[in-house]
A and B are shown apart, each in its own frame.
Chain A
Amino acid sequence: MNNNPIVEREKGLLELERRITELRAANTTQPVDMTAEIAALEAKYQEILHEVFGTLSPWEKVNMARHPNRPTALDYISRFDRFDELHGDRQFRDDPAIVGGFAKLHGRAVMAIGQQRGRDTKENLRRNFGMPAPEGYRKVRRLANLASRLGLPIVTLVDTKGADPGISSEEHAQSEAIASCLHAFTLARVPIVATVIGEGGSGGALALAIADHVIMLEHSTYSVASPEGCAAILWSDSSKAEEAAARLKLTAQDLQRFGVIDEIVPEPLGGAHRDAGAVVSRVLETVDGALTRLSELPPNRLLEERYGKYRRIGTWHADAEPLPST
């Protein structure tokens, strides 16, 4: 995550913010009235904020989704009424890139499962930058199956560059681990609500995102491959990631038009981390609303509708027109 252009651009704004705070403090203690100067600075600040973050390109959204201060899965889960983490795949180990367990959300017992990246280098190393290994996906499958049997709705939080691409992950059959997650989510006889809170990268993200209701944060992304991966695959040049990001239609707004996702939760100007508390509350309310609606449906109906929804996704007719681009 070096040289995140969003982080770079934020620097000037943060400096301005600091100066405004200083001036405000000084204004109360010093005899000279600086109200006019402060107002001018604040106007300037708002102007720059709108200029920099008013409209974000797909590549800027990718970097917003990867912002180191963006709220992570545990930032959401810690705001549930309560959460008791369950660990391990019962076969090999506990994968720290996946957190999951029993939880209560607005008084409702649920199974919460999320991909967890680190807030700093040390935690990122422990959590493998939020890239789950097969053990992580087997933990997800175990918790999803348990939730289905107990009648607990499943709430997932998606935030990963993708599944871990390592030797040990291949040795432990990463493909099978993801495939069995997809199977478990298509089979679960309980409502599933998935929210993409950051980066939704490839099959590793989809493994937690087959759901009756899929929500995305305004500046999160969800894609068949990371822009770097796509550029490497198609053009053998991962430096063309920005171009790939533009073509992949990976923004929440594009995906809502394609019918791949159901709802978008707005973020404050400048991104979710600018007011994490408000964003988390908004997401939890949206998830709760979806769960309330879905809980009305008997399990058979729920499964029928879920199957129908995924069966319909994707235009394949020769005469189908491409959707207009934004």
Chain B
Amino acid sequence: MPMPEWLRTRRSKDSGHRDAALWSKCPKCGEVLYRRDLLANVDVCTRCGHHFRMGAYDRISTIVDGDFTEIGSEITGGDPLGWVDRRSYGAKLHGDREKSGLGEAVVCGFGQIGGFDVGLGVMDFHFRGGTMGTVVGERIAMLLDEARRRRVPCIVFTASGGARMEEGMLALAQMAKTSAAVTEFTEAGNVLITVLTDPTTGGVAASFAFQGDVIVAEPKAVIGFAGRRVIEQTIRQRLPDQFQTAEFLLEKGAIDMVVERRALKEMLVRLLEYTTAGRQTAAQ
């Protein structure tokens, strides 16, 4: 498949960022992987199957059929609290923009998946640990609002350490904002599919991630509300390795399925087929 125009433009803007690195080392098995082979294998280690944390635009290119029209990219960060610690929050944002080539921790837009028109939101852990501040909340809400107007399903990929500390209560309030947007969206008869990727925790887990009608997760993804360290400190004992993994949540009944990245697009297309079939009948 030829590289679509949006991605080619994107990639040329990215040159000099981490995409340019030739080699990546698998954090799981230590295998040194040629970056191009790794990308061709959807960022999954060719030796042990470890799922790397994927960049938002790489993710989008593996999911959409061709075109992707981004929305909300004009919304970028303010610094509502005027936060300064060792560095100012503004400097942290600037640094992450340079490093990641992203404007903020989520990319939203519209495209087709298996011929279905969808709204797509993809979080990126490489920007401030995927934390949700006012920009992330606003972009997610915008996506849901626009998808509601277009009457199309939404798929949101989550990857987040939770609410962003440097935006204080305004970050926490984004849980309310996104929840309100999800309610409007689903109450109007639309379907939300969430794909939880490594890691999905805190305020993002406790809002739109777990408000999905169907909740998919990637293998071994860490998913939970409280951080592992916090729990270990509270109970004063070490937690088992399996704790808070996608497989653990599947067993406990918290998510619908664990799907390997290489099979993910096919599964999403099937889910889109089921979840829109009834509505087409209802509309007739």
**A residues engaging B (CB < 8 A)?**
163, 165-167, 169-176, 178-180, 182-183, 186-187, 202-203, 206-207, 210, 222-225, 229-230, 232-235, 247-250, 255, 258, 260, 306-307, 310-311, 313-320, 322-323, 325
Contacts and interface: CB of A to CB of B under 8 A. Distances in A.
B173 A179 contact: no
Given A183-B211, A316-B134, A175 B225 contact: yes
B170 A163 contact: no
B225 A203 contact: yes
Given A173-B210, A310-B177, A315-B134, A247 B230 contact: no
B179 A169 contact: no
Query: Which 6 A-B pairs rank lowest in CB-CB distance, beginning with the nearest?
Result: A322-B82, A314-B134, A165-B226, A175-B205, A320-B78, A182-B179
B206 interface: yes
B180 A306 contact: yes
Given A165-B230, A224-B171, A314 B80 contact: yes
Given A183-B182, A224-B167, A315-B134, 7 more contacts: A170-B225, A176-B210, A179-B210, A206-B173, A206-B175, A234-B165, A313-B176
Interface stretch (B33-41, B115-123, B135-143): B135-143
Nearest to B170: A314
B249 interface: yes
A186 B180 contact: yes
Contact of B202 (A203, A250, A306): A203
29 contacts: A165-B234, A170-B225, A175-B201, A175-B210, A179-B205, A179-B206, A180-B210, A186-B179, A186-B180, A202-B203, A203-B172, A203-B225, A206-B173, A206-B175, A224-B167, A225-B163, A229-B230, A232-B230, A249-B81, A258-B170, A260-B173, A307-B183, A314-B133, A314-B170, A314-B173, A315-B78, A322-B78, A322-B79, A325-B82
Contacts of A167: 231, 235, 239, 243
Contacts of A260: 169-170, 173
A43 B230 CA distance: 47
A97 to B, nearest CB: 15
B183 A183 contact: yes
A315 B80 contact: yes
A178 B225 CA distance: 9
Contacts of A175: 201, 205-206, 209-210, 223-225, 254
Contact of A314 (B85, B177, B203, B244): B177
B139 to A, nearest CB: 9
Contacts of A317: 75, 78
A173 B224 CA distance: 8
Given A169-B225, A183-B183, A310 B176 contact: yes
B172 to A, nearest CB: 4
Contacts of B180: 186, 210, 306-307, 310-311
B174 A314 contact: yes
A310 B173 contact: yes
Nearest to B164: A224
B273 to A, nearest CB: 25
A179 B209 contact: yes
Nearest to A322: B82
